[in-house]
Structure 1
Amino acid sequence: MTNQFKIWAGGALVTSLLFFACGSPKGGNSTSTSTTNEVNRVATPSFNADSAYAYVDRQVAFGPRVPNTPEHKACAEYLASEMKRFGADVIVQEAEVKAFDNTVLEAKNIIAQFNPEMNNRLLLFAHWDSRPFADHDKDVSKRDLPIDGANDGASGVGVLMEIARQIGKKGHHLGIDIIFFDAEDYGQPDHRDLAHKEDTWCLGSQYWGKFPHKEDYYARYGILLDMVGAKDAFFYQEGFSLQYAPDLVKQIWNTAADLGYGNHFVFDKGGYITDDHIYVNKYRRIPCVDIIQFNPSSNSSFGDYWHTHNDDMSNVDKNTLKAVGQTVLEVIYREK
């Protein structure tokens, strides 16, 4: 992402920066939850962090998932087949989208539907592509090379894959849609002297927002996971999320505290971030929350690995995956 993709704001100060973040709380003491849904008495499944980690690792093993590459195509086939194996009704939405440099990208939004016949729906989403540039790498000779994107991309997808596996095993009383958006991370690179263009990020969610997989698609709310695997990450309450869905923000953060992850889900405002949730809200009017890491000690506000070749599996922590995954599972299984 670039300095114009994600905008962090603190108090009255707005810093014009573009960021992607992944949270990795230190992991609470909870390994499962016995909370039951009051309607169907369905116990919330236990999120398996080992399984989620394996899904992240498998994505990274394909290599950088940059649109128009064989690695990208192979990973798309893997993601779709796994979601089908979990019992979801899968749609691969193919689209041609234009990048900042007018490159036409063959994007694939992977949409997994549980209980597709139900109108009462919840939406979970992440981006599955990886950055084609290492525009923040210290080694300037490597800045035009694509990155692994273990945390920035693969971690959110890995968490949602494990959530999908648990839904497939346990079932759910509502309709659940899980979308892996493509071409999110193909925005203008920071290391090139380019005139700013609007909306060069989140191309897959922009396309889906205008052309959803079902006419007049709507969900009660959406939860975005972006960079949710880094070790010792903190999740502050993102500014646009507080505008779109303040009650849902409160619900998620309170749930995390209930489960023992409150020291990672920080009850402070972290900033404003342009991410996929912006376009889901803009085009589909679905209130969305972005769970994303904020690191006030980092120059990027995310972590020193961000948009560098250090964004590899060494930055993915099972405790963080567990904290985020169990929290999201608890939230959706508490719904009526």
Structure 2
Amino acid sequence: MRKYILWAALVLTACNSGNKQPAATDAAENKPVVAAPVFSADSAYASIEKQVAFGPRIPGTKAQTACATWLISSLRPLADTVYVQRVNVNADGKNLPCINIIASFNPSEKRRILLLTHWDTRPVADKDAFDKKKPFDGADDGGSGTAVLLEVARHLKAKKPGYGIDILFTDVEDYGEDYCMGTQYWARTPHVPGYTASYGILLDMVGARNARFYMEGTSQQYAAAQMKLFWEVAHQSGFSEYFRYETPGNGPSYIEDDHTYVNNILKVPTFDIIATRPSGELMEHHHTTNDNIAVIDRQTLTAVGQPLLGLLYGEPFKY
């Protein structure tokens, strides 16, 4: 996942318009708490362990093939339809196998929400202090978002809401300096011709201990209202400690992630739930060998997964 952050001192008119960020105590005022299925952090944690057990899910490796097979076989009993895009994409001058997997629920419904995450891992731990050429597990970066959305899919199987949901597990997101290649392919060639959704939610690095989620700049630019709605549900659900209304650092940080291309190519407003430090920098284990199962925290998985269920089974279009 992510790569570099562009800083800007400008205020985003799409979100702020000169207005003060809402206080955490004000955001959920007079809003009912939504009854939603209970998110199982244990189940999500086990899904991360399963992914890590395959080894680094690097494009072109046996681990990529094995993990893709497991994801597809896990989703087929849950979703109404599972689409698999097997293509080759170019990243860093290499022709790489890419396996995008899309689980569709209520496919005939016109009103839809897109959920997405990447499931691949970066080939090398280029930010590691000692092992910059060593592959790493990607328990958080790739594994955590995948696990949360697998758990969401299990609930959608048991009870589908009255609208459509598509879960996109995208590949070749984090190969080198050419990012999000699987998402770029999908955005140009979606699984259904003419595909669109009311909005999208990207999960990336959502499982680590001490994670905090700030309002990222590109998300504010394209999907400010939808992101604010999610933050409100998170606060209603008791997770205000994790979800901050502030922008990180001295101004909005712009993270090049899968949502960048869904917004710019497919024109579906999409926001990114991604853990950063208050400065806007990514977590310390990002692209290091420390991104292993030891960084994963069940409370963080719940802090993301429970509000997501609350939103999907609540009023997801009231923004």
**Deviation string, structure 1 residues 233-264 (Cα, Å, up to 9, x no partner):** 11000101111011111101111111110111
Q: In the alignment, what sits opposite 1:159? A: 148
Mapping of residues 182-261 of structure 1, within 5 Å: 182-188=171-177, 200-261=178-239
Conserved in 1, the CA contact under 8 Å of 2:112 and 2:166? Answer: yes
**Deviation string, structure 1 residues 269-317 (Cα, Å, up to 9, x no partner):** 12210100010111110000100011136xx822221101110000110
TM-score (norm 1): 0.83
Write the distance in 2 (CA, Å) between the matches of 1:153 and 1:88.
24
Q: In the alignment, what sits opposite 1:70? A: 62
**Deviation string, structure 1 residues 172-197 (Cα, Å, up to 9, x no partner):** 21111000000000122xxxxxxxxx
| Structure 2: runs of 5+ lacking an equivalent | 12-31
Write the distance in 1 (CA, Å) between the matches of 2:188 and 2:159.
33
Q: In the alignment, what sits opposite 1:281? A: 263
Q: In the alignment, what sits opposite 2:9? A: 11
SS in 1 for 2:42: helix
SS in 1 for 2:259: helix
Q: What is the CA distance between 1:44 and its match in structure 2? A: 1.8
Q: In the alignment, what sits opposite 1:138? A: 129
Q: What is the CA distance between 1:8 and its match in structure 2? A: 4.4
Aligned residue type for 1:133: V
CA gap of 1:35–1:171, structure 2 versus 1, over 3 A, is: farther
**Deviation string, structure 1 residues 32-90 (Cα, Å, up to 9, x no partner):** xx956xxxxxx521111111111111111100000100110000000011011223411
| Structure 1: runs of 5+ lacking an equivalent | 14-33, 37-42, 189-199
Write the distance in 2 (CA, Å) between the matches of 1:161 and 1:97.
25
Aligned residue type for 2:5: I
Conserved in 2, the CA contact under 8 Å of 1:133 and 1:144? Answer: yes
Conserved in 2, the CA contact under 8 Å of 1:45 and 1:170? Answer: no
Write the distance in 2 (CA, Å) between the matches of 1:89 and 1:226.
24
Mapping of residues 322-333 of structure 1, within 5 Å: 322-333=302-313
| C-alpha RMSD of matched pairs (Å) | 1.7
Q: What is the CA distance between 1:12 and its match in structure 2? A: 5.0
Aligned-residue sequence identity (percent) comes to 46
2:102 to 103, 107, 111: 111
SS in 2 for 1:53: helix
**Deviation string, structure 1 residues 140-163 (Cα, Å, up to 9, x no partner):** xx3222211000000000000000
Conserved in 1, the CA contact under 8 Å of 2:5 and 2:281? Answer: no
Write the distance in 2 (CA, Å) between the matches of 1:107 and 1:247.
33
Write the distance in 2 (CA, Å) between the matches of 1:246 and 1:223.
12
Q: What is the CA distance between 1:324 and its match in structure 2? A: 0.2
Residue 267 (structure 1) aligned with residue 259 (structure 2): no
**Deviation string, structure 1 residues 83-114 (Cα, Å, up to 9, x no partner):** 112234111111110111x1111000010001
Write the distance in 2 (CA, Å) between the matches of 1:49 and 1:173.
25
Q: In the alignment, what sits opposite 1:55? A: 47
SS in 2 for 1:252: helix
Write the distance in 1 (CA, Å) between the matches of 2:143 and 2:66.
14
Write the distance in 2 (CA, Å) between the matches of 1:296 and 1:249.
18
CA gap of 1:283–1:12, structure 2 versus 1, over 3 A, is: closer
Write the distance in 1 (CA, Å) between the matches of 2:230 and 2:166.
18
Stretches of 4+ aligned residues off by more than 3 angstroms: 10-13
Write the distance in 2 (CA, Å) between the matches of 1:67 and 1:242.
31
